[in-house]
Structure 1
């Protein structure tokens, strides 16, 4: 069995962060989201991995390499334009050959891995197996309708009137018959070849389409609030470790990891928190569910429930929470000017201000 990992999307919901980095490489607990997916595949015994890449191909290649650090053999497959998940299967036809495969969306996060899903597929070998999860608002997802035996009888992409609350999560398993399905469908109203349409074609052809309902944690990390929630979830399992320097005037509470080369002075850190290598935290408070990447500076500030990316500096700005601070960003105090907010805000940014 092979894997097809999709890492070619634009990440418009994470702008402006994704102007300069692929959404799949935005870190959760200081590790890119994409890495968690690759590790899940390898843990399930799937080491032949094809990664669909687009305009951010160079960044993905640099981060993942040949896959050997994960125990995998990675092949990169260029997709000229992001024309849908089923189009990605078309593009990868030569690589996939006649093997069964897992299609894994590279910006999805699943706690607990996919070993049981893969094991069940190998035992029963349906033509398709979908990972489903219950969601509050299924209108933003592919939605499945099941019969009494758990077989999928209908699937629809982003319906205005969902038939159920069962959303298709970011993992699909297929036999080679799916190649016939993706060739048979037409582009949707948004101009894409939808994988849900391909699955519906399989259903209409009488093929066996099975579903697996997951009750564990799943998130599509396509927006800031979901990124922060996934970060919180991962940090809950953090193993505390102090490899950096913490002075006598600092207080460390709970699950905190201070990586080698980091320093904490005159500060209070309340876990779960990870402080990346080379980062300096001085006269500050870093609160729960916060990950601070490498080579950052936090001085005279308070940060909680946030993700701070590599090289960012936060100095003298009071309290920051529920925030995603980009690479090499500078957040500073404005000085003694009259009380006012002063910004340099990039395209597609979102700024929230307390009155």
Structure 2
């Protein structure tokens, strides 16, 4: 069995971060989302991995190769444009051959991994197996319709009038039967080859398509709000460790992980939180659910429920929260404007001005 990881999207919902960086490499608890995907694949016993890449191919290749995922044989598969999930399967046709495979969207996060799902698929081996979860707004996702017996009878991509609240999670399992379905798929109204259309092709021909409803935690980390929520979830299970240089004037509360090479002086760190290598925290407060990446500097500031990417500095800022701060960013107070009132008053006026 092989794995196909999709990492070619543009990340438009995470702009401006993704103007200069791949969305799959934005860190959660100081580790790129894509790395969690690859770890889950390795834990499931899959060793051959194809990564579909686009404009950010060089950045993704450098990060993945540099991380050294032992035991994984990784092949990079160029996709000239993000033309849909079914198009990605077409791009990977030669790599996949006649093997079963799991397709995993590189910006999706599934707590607990995919091992149980892969084992279930291997035991039953349907033509396709999809993951579903209930969502409050299904119009933003691929949506499944089930009959009274729980069988999948219909799929639609981002429907204006969804027939259920069951959204497709970004993990799919296929036998080689999907290739015939993908070959028969034509572009949708969005101009993309939709994987939902390919799976519907299998359903219409009475092929074996099964679903598993995910009751645990799943997030598409395509926007800032979801990224922060995933960061919160991962930090809740972080193992506390203080390996950096922390002085006696600093207070550490709760599950806090401070990497070797970090320096903390006269500060208060309240977990769950992670402080990366080479970070300096001086006279500051770092609150719960915050990840500070390598090489950052936080001085005379307060930050909580946020992600700060490598090389950034925050100095003299009273309060930051629910924020995603990119690489090599400088955050400082704005110059204080002189206070003044400009008045044009008629005769016999009475004006009260607060001082």
Normalising by structure 1, report the TM-score.
Answer: 0.94
Is 2:328 the partner of 1:328?
yes
- Mapped to 2, the partners of 1:181 and 1:243 lie a distance apart of 53
- Structure 2 unmatched ranges of 5 or more: 340-355
Structure 1 match to 2:277:
277
Structure 2 match to 1:34:
34
- Give the 3 Å change call, closer, same or farther, for CA 107–70 of structure 1 in structure 2: farther
**CA deviation map 1:242-293 (0-9, x unaligned):** 0001111110000001100101111000000100000000010000000000
Structure 1 match to 2:316:
316
Structure 2 match to 1:111:
111
Structure 1 match to 2:352:
none
Structure 2 match to 1:256:
256
RMSD: 1.3
Structure 1 match to 2:219:
219
- Mapped to 2, the partners of 1:250 and 1:66 lie a distance apart of 34
- Mapped to 2, the partners of 1:87 and 1:316 lie a distance apart of 49
Shift in Å, 1:337 = 3.3
Structure 1 match to 2:353:
none
**Counterparts in 2 of 1:148-187, with a 5 A limit?**
148-187=148-187
Is 2:4 the partner of 1:4?
yes
Structure 2 match to 1:73:
73
- Mapped to 2, the partners of 1:221 and 1:168 lie a distance apart of 14
Structure 1 match to 2:188:
188
**CA deviation map 1:133-178 (0-9, x unaligned):** 1111111001001123332111111111111111000000000010
Shift in Å, 1:333 = 1.5
Structure 1 match to 2:350:
none
- Mapped to 2, the partners of 1:60 and 1:291 lie a distance apart of 21
- Mapped to 2, the partners of 1:149 and 1:32 lie a distance apart of 39
Structure 2 match to 1:45:
45
Structure 2 match to 1:348:
none
Structure 2 match to 1:63:
63
- Mapped to 1, the partners of 2:89 and 2:174 lie a distance apart of 11
- Regions of 4+ moved over 4 Å: none
Shift in Å, 1:71 = 2.4
- Mapped to 1, the partners of 2:121 and 2:150 lie a distance apart of 14
**CA deviation map 1:24-58 (0-9, x unaligned):** 00000000000000000111111100000001000
**CA deviation map 1:92-131 (0-9, x unaligned):** 0000000000000000000011111111111111100001
Greater CA radius of gyration, 1 or 2?
Answer: 2
Q: Is the 8 A contact 1:53 1:79 kept in 2?
A: yes
User: Residue 318 of structure 1 aligns to a residue in which SS?
Assistant: coil
Shift in Å, 1:185 = 1.2
Shift in Å, 1:65 = 1.3
Shift in Å, 1:66 = 8.2
Structure 2 match to 1:123:
123
Structure 2 match to 1:352:
none
Structure 2 match to 1:347:
none
Q: Is the 8 A contact 1:67 1:73 kept in 2?
A: no
Structure 2 match to 1:231:
231
Shift in Å, 1:68 = 4.6
Q: Is the 8 A contact 1:30 1:292 kept in 2?
A: yes
Shift in Å, 1:70 = 4.2
Q: Is the 8 A contact 1:38 1:70 kept in 2?
A: no
Shift in Å, 1:334 = 2.5
Normalising by structure 2, report the TM-score.
Answer: 0.94
- Mapped to 1, the partners of 2:147 and 2:120 lie a distance apart of 19
User: Residue 264 of structure 1 aligns to a residue in which SS?
Assistant: strand
